[in-house]
Amino acid sequence: MGKPISGFSKLSKSKKIDWIVDTYFAKNKSAKSIIKQYWNSNEKLQQLHDEFIENTITNYYLPLGVAPNFLINNKLHTIPMAIEESSVVAAASKSAKFWLERGGFKATVLSTTKVGQVHFLFDGQFEKLQDFFNSIKPKLIEESKPITKNMEKRGGGILDIELRDKTEDLQNYYQLHATFETKDAMGANFINSCLEQFAKTFKNAALTFEAFSGEEKNIEIVMSILSNYVPECLVKAEVSCPVSELSDDNSINPEAFAKKFIQAVNIAEVEPFRAVTHNKGIMNGIDAVVLATGNDFRAVEAGVHAYASRTGKYRSLTHAKIENGIFYFWIEIPLALGTIGGLTGLHPLVKLSLELLHHPTAKELMQIVAVAGLAQNFAALRSLTTTGIQEGHMKMHLMNILNQFEATDTEKTKLIEHFKTHVVTHSAVVEALNSLRRA
Ligand code: MEV
């Protein structure tokens, strides 16, 4: 059992650790050394990580891998991926190589509009509210100038502000629904600052709007916040090739494979239980690049899944078809990403990842991330509709099982060789390791 503590955030890092160890790890003598062994010996670097969040006690490592050979719009990329799942980088690399030999990936940014809303309550006549909004709209934009000035210099800023009547959904509920262009920044701080300024201007001006009655003057701002649903910040990535070229393996008939592959996509279009797993596999690729490039994967996840449900039913994010003997496979997803601001200028590995990608613009990063998702889905469906997923998955998982049983380097070498010709299962690995140790 834990115990409450007040003023925890004000304790020094070492006092915080002492409290945790005393409270939760009385029986675990190695807890403190586990925490400390992940500290970076470079104190400045450690301090940088400590200051990303509150109450940092140590660092949580994820592997940063790279998937080479991604040809995207005729430009070759090696894509950085931060992820713990063993088969993801291998699958991305395999897909990249496959499509490199078939013309590569094409990607297009369809739109880049971001959204934010001021949610408020108004108890009165809508017509008067509309008049008030029309009269105040230029002032909303004008009073945000100190915030928007720099963004405007970069070609971004506020695109529009609309008044939306939501009273059919909730009594007295209205919104200022604003759209923004944030260029290479993800723009969360920019959007939220603009929205809070709109709310202030809006509320203050209502107090002196003559047509409002006493009650109507009292607009209640509930909250001002960006939306992570960005259906107008869209990117499309695609691959295509003649069906006859769709196999690099003699045991796979390309026509039969193409048909089965499309069936698998169609199932994910109509069956939510499958669509969720199908899209999860896509997010394996997307999140890994989003994380490696210092972007907010929770925002991306929330927006992407909302988009997958936009028809009222949760569906596949990828689509496939055969037309005139050509196999087409594509993805269309909303991605609000940044290549400046946030962690992008702070985290040394994020900076390195962006450099590896040739310092992409936000639009280029959207393309790269969408491609990573499409590639991941291609690899998953290819395995699922041919060998089954476990063969490749367990091969990659072999090292995790060996590490779990503290296999030595020699044992690892021998068992990796052994499992090149044997099926990897958890029990088969344990058995092989035990018999090696007995011998
Ligand atoms: C596993 O992380 C992802 C898959 O389940 C995706 C899929 O089923 O398409 C393999």
Digit-coded pLDDT (tens) for 359-378:
999 999 999 999 999 999 99
**390 pLDDT more than 80:** no
Task: Fold for 64-111+231-387, please state it.
Answer: 3.90.770
Per the annotation, the verdict on 255 as an active-site residue is no
Segment 239-289, tens digit of pLDDT: 999 999 998 888 889 999 999 999 999 999 999 999 999 999 999 999 999
Which regions of the chain carry the CATH code 3.90.770.10? 64-111+231-387
Nearest atom in ligand 1 to 389's CA: 10
Ligand 1 centroid to residue 153 C-alpha, Å: 43
Buried b (16+ CB within 10 A) or exposed e, 47-80: eebbeeeeeebbeeeeebbebebbbbeeeebebb
Catalytic residue among 143, 196, 296, 364, which? 296
Active site residue 393: yes
Contact in structure between 105 and 374 (CB atoms under 8 Å): yes
Q: Rounded CA gap, 16 and 54, in Å?
A: 11
Mean pLDDT of the chain: 96
pLDDT at residue 2, as a whole number: 74
pLDDT at 394: 78
Q: How far is the CA of 151 from the centre of ligand 1 (A)?
A: 40
pLDDT at 53: 96
Give nearest CA residue, ligand 1 atom 4: 281
With a cut of 80, say whether residue 391 has pLDDT above it: no
DSSP 48-83: HHHTTSSS--S-----EEEEEEEEETTEEEEEEEE-
Q: Give me the amino acid identity at 19.
A: W
Please tell me whether residue 333 adopts helix, strand or coil conformation. Answer: strand
Which residue minimizes the CA distance to atom 10 of ligand 1?
380
Q: What is the pLDDT of residue 161?
A: 98
Candidates 13, 200, 305, 393; catalytic one: 393
Buried b (16+ CB within 10 A) or exposed e, 320-340: bebeeeebebbbbbbbbbbbb
What is the CATH code of the structural domain delimited by 114-227?
A: 3.30.70.420
Q: Is the pLDDT of residue 216 over 90?
A: yes
Tokens 């001002």 locate to: 224
Asked if 131 is an active-site residue, the reply is: no
Residue 439 has a pLDDT of 86
Note the pLDDT of residue 383: 93
pLDDT value at residue 168? 98
Q: How far is the CA of 277 from the centre of ligand 1 (A)?
A: 6
Q: Is a pLDDT exceeding 80 seen at residue 322?
A: yes
Helix and strand numbers (H, E) in the chain are 15, 10
Within the chain, all domains assigned CATH 3.30.70.420 are found at: 114-227
Mutate to test the pocket of ligand 1, among 95, 265, 382, 389 (most ligand atoms within 8 A of CB): 389
- The residues near 284 (Cβ < 8 Å, ≥ 6 apart) are 83, 85, 88, 91, 376
